[in-house]
Amino acid sequence: MDLRLPAPVDRALRLCHVDFAPAHRQPRTISVLVATAIAIGGSLAADALLVTIGSAVFPSTRGYVHFQFHDYARLTVIGVVIACLAWPVVTRISSAPRWLFLRMAIGVTLVLWLPDVYILSRGQPPRAVAVLFVMHLAIAVVTYTCLVHIAKTRPPEVARPWVSQPGRHASQRR
């Protein structure tokens, strides 16, 4: 039975480098966990720094409800964890995972700006909302950087004939 995708779907997948046959190996689980922890910490630190800078540059934004740690921290952690769960999936389905993940990060960031646009249209302070835009961007940059540099894909395994194979004794090799 021949299972072929419709031509437009096949072209779209090829365009996005989704080929389900990467030559590389998955990142190690421990490296994904370490990258996740660092991405969460780095994103929260970036958020806090941007709130501090935004409040100093725009004094009218001091005390803005969305600048409270508990307000942005929960959503930041949820977003970073989702991105970190997506990274191993992307490395599994794509022969160019960094290329694809970068474009996904850009797309997700643009989508996450929509609520900011909405609250801006509802009368929220433009300067405070501008800081929220930058916070979303910073989270994306920190998370992407941590994942692609800490939870790297690994080169494919190379057959090494000099390494003993399970179930074979040295006397049986030729």
Give a yes or no: residue 118 inside a domain. Answer: yes
Give a yes or no: residue 111 inside a domain. Answer: yes
Give a yes or no: residue 163 inside a domain. Answer: no
Q: What is the pLDDT of residues 60-109, one digit of tens each?
A: 999 999 999 999 999 999 999 999 999 999 999 998 999 999 999 999 99
Kindly report the number of other CB atoms within 10 A of residue 128's CB atom: 23
Radius of gyration of the chain (CA): 22
- What token pair was written down for 98? 């960094």
Give a yes or no: residue 167 inside a domain. Answer: no
Range of the domain at 113: 25-152
Give a yes or no: residue 8 inside a domain. Answer: no
| Distance, CA of 79 to CA of 97 (rounded, Å) | 19
Query: Distances from the Cα of 61 to the Cαs of 29, 53, 87, 127, in angstroms?
Result: 41, 10, 35, 7
- pLDDT for 163 beyond 80: no
5 or 59: which leads in pLDDT: 59
- pLDDT for 170 beyond 70: no
**Which residues sit opposite 122 in a β-bridge?**
none
- Tell how many helices (H) and how many strands (E) occur in the chain: 5, 0
Question: How many domains, the chain?
Answer: 1
Q: What is the pLDDT of residues 11-69, one digit of tens each?
A: 888 887 788 878 888 999 999 999 999 999 999 999 999 999 999 999 999 999 999 99
CA dihedral 140, 73, 110, 120 (to 10 degrees): -140
